[in-house]
Amino acid sequence: MAGKRRRIRQNDNRTGKFCISLILIIFMVVMTIQIKNVYQKDQDYVAKQAELELQLKAEQDRQEEIKEYQKYIESQDYVEDQATSKLGLLYKNQIIFREKKN
């Protein structure tokens, strides 16, 4: 009887070790997959950040151009250009030279 009990304990011990080993292997596989997914997301975020930084730089450049254009619009040169080109107005001492049409 003592030998039979010892064999049952050894079999239970082997079964327990096998179950624990199986659980650990499954856990490692799941964690590997999760780490791979997180790494992929990180790479996506890095690429997106680079793209957004380029967009930010482009928008800042555009903002500077708009500020410069606004200064030009508020200047006297803009008013004179618009009066000359759209309304045909001139100063008293200005002369316009036009080409002859053949």
Give residue 63's pLDDT.
97
Local confidence pLDDT in tens for the 102 residues of the chain: 555 666 666 666 788 889 999 999 999 999 999 999 999 999 999 999 999 999 999 999 999 999 999 999 999 999 888 888 888 778 888 777 777 877
DSSP string, 22-43: HHHHHHHHHHHHHHHHHHHHHH
* 48 within some domain: yes
Give residue 11's pLDDT.
67
Boundaries of domain holding 40: 2-87
Please count the structural domains in the chain.
1
Give residue 55's pLDDT.
97
* 93 within some domain: no
* 94 within some domain: no
* 56 within some domain: yes
